[in-house]
Amino acid sequence: MTEANDLHTLRVLAKRYARANRIAQHQALDLMAAQLSFPNWVKLIADSKGGWRVGPEGIARVEAFANAPMPAATFRQGDAEAMSRRFTQLQEADHGMIGEHAYRLLDVLHDVVMSGEGWSIRVPENPGAIAIVETYTAPHATCPVHDPGFLQAALAIANERAGQVRGEISVDWPRRSTKPDLKGVVRHPLSGSESDVWFCYHCDGKITGAQIAQNLWHCPGCGASPLDIYDAAFWSEDKGKSFLPIAAKNSDRQDRPALKIVDGRPRLVLNEEKIVILIRSALIEEAANVSERLGALHAEISVDEDNDVWIALDVDLWPENKDPAQALAVAELLGIEVDVARTQFTIPFAWPGLGEITSSTSEYARMMLDAYDEYGGLPENKAEAP
């Protein structure tokens, strides 16, 4: 490889890196030079004119660094040595240990999820969103995320990986989507439209081009995704003229917590929908034939403000002398009362007694069609043979 090709390769890698990390090209060039033990790009060029060559190993080292986008504040401060260390750490971060606790790191739809026994941390794709820490342990069990030292170490790893994921997103987008021009104009990464002012469909916010680019096209106010960011407020009567600007926020989020700890253990919250599902399932379970299954499916089930249940069963589909024992057993487990009524609805098919003969739905359908053919009209969607 010639000297010109070497330098061209380094410039291409620097360009990709600048896009990934949303930094200026000259900063990326300095970082590429730092990987080759030069203080800056100017010094590298000077030495190359004096006969220095990159070599295959140098190109491979720079390429490995450039292909792992990892934006961080230290990049903008020119701390190449610190970023080199972080790059090495991230390469080993898919599985690892923090003290005696094992963890696993995953990218899930551009969110970073770090999990271990009894805990997980989710860092959203949105740079302005806070990390969510969930615990799943029993109330009196020990969970490592309650240890400040462990939590700090885990968050550092998860946030670093989130930076890498965001960098990979930036690489896939046009350069103008993450770096405004001198007038603040940016290009929407999905629609391609350009403007220096943008509008959020969810919170009716007015956003500058620099704000939306810095926040990876998530609304800095409500966190809405790029799909809900538009260059014109077409839903507003005054086209967004009355919308208030979204205030700029500290990029380090020092004005709000860096995370939220929640108890992720499942909790049963009984409401009308859940109670109706359980009661109807119990009715279907108890049904001894097709007729009773139809009765379970067509039963009217309502729940009052105290979560007590009223069940109305059709006398033509559910035997009048048969109590819904399974439904009553479920209600007892849930601690609710049940009132059962017998009524008569409009049954779905004629001759409901046919369903008492079989428990096979296909057999019931055959007998029903035969009965319609012999005693009544054909089904509306079944045409007569020519």
Instruction: Please check whether residues 68 and 97 belong to one and the same domain.
Output: no
What is the pLDDT at residue 380? 60
Is 179 within a domain? no
Contact by Cβ (8 Å): 66, 77: no
Instruction: Please check whether residues 67 and 114 belong to one and the same domain.
Output: no
Give kind and range of the element (H or E) at residue 117: none
Contact by Cβ (8 Å): 196, 185: yes
d(Cα 315, Cα 347) in Å, to the nearest integer? 10
The domain total for the chain is 3
Is 180 within a domain? no
d(Cα 261, Cα 137) in Å, to the nearest integer? 13
Q: Tell which of 172, 190, 206 closes a domain.
A: 172
Instruction: Please check whether residues 67 and 113 belong to one and the same domain.
Output: no
What is the pLDDT at residue 6? 80
Over the chain, what is the mean pLDDT?
A: 83
71, pLDDT greater than 70: no
Quick one: average pLDDT of 251-278?
Answer: 72
Task: Tell me the per-residue pLDDT of 3-46, one tens digit each, with 9 for 90 and over.
Answer: 667 888 888 888 878 877 767 788 888 888 888 888 888 888 88
What is the pLDDT at residue 199? 94
Is 85 within a domain? no
335 vs 88: which has the higher pLDDT: 335
If one counts every other C-beta atom within 10 angstroms of the C-beta of residue 50, the result is 6
Instruction: Please check whether residues 9 and 40 belong to one and the same domain.
Output: yes
207-211 CB contacts, 8 Å cutoff, 24+ apart: 207/245, 207/246, 208/184, 208/245, 209/180, 209/184, 209/185, 210/180, 210/184, 210/186, 211/246, 211/248
Instruction: Please check whether residues 369 and 280 belong to one and the same domain.
Output: yes
348, pLDDT greater than 70: yes
Taking CA atoms, 65 is separated from 14, 17, 129, 152, in Å, by 10, 9, 27, 25
Question: Under DSSP, is residue 266 helix (H, G, I), strand (E, B) or coil?
Answer: coil
Is 292 within a domain? yes
90, pLDDT greater than 80: no
Quick one: average pLDDT of 87-107?
Answer: 76
Instruction: Please check whether residues 285 and 322 belong to one and the same domain.
Output: yes
Give kind and range of the element (H or E) at residue 203: none
Is 384 within a domain? no
Q: Tell which of 129, 151, 172 closes a domain.
A: 172
Instruction: Please check whether residues 97 and 68 belong to one and the same domain.
Output: no
Instruction: Please check whether residues 98 and 168 belong to one and the same domain.
Output: yes
Instruction: Please check whether residues 117 and 59 belong to one and the same domain.
Output: no
Q: Tell which of 144, 172, 200 closes a domain.
A: 172
Q: Is 235 left (phi over 0), alpha (psi -120 to 50) or beta?
A: alpha
Say which range, 20-29, 200-209, 211-220, has the weakest mean pLDDT: 20-29
Is 212 within a domain? no
Quick one: average pLDDT of 130-151?
Answer: 82
d(Cα 211, Cα 218) in Å, to the nearest integer? 9
Instruction: Please check whether residues 281 and 368 belong to one and the same domain.
Output: yes
Strand order in the sheet with 229-230: 206-208, 197-200, 229-230
Instruction: Please check whether residues 55 and 100 belong to one and the same domain.
Output: no
Residue 67: domain span: 3-72
Q: pLDDT band at residue 252, thresholds of 50, 70 and 90?
A: very low
pTM higher than 0.85:
no
78, pLDDT greater than 50: no
Pairing of strands 197-200, 309-314: unpaired
261, pLDDT greater than 80: no
Is 62 within a domain? yes
d(Cα 150, Cα 96) in Å, to the nearest integer? 13
Is 58 within a domain? yes
DSSP-derived secondary structure letter, 259: E
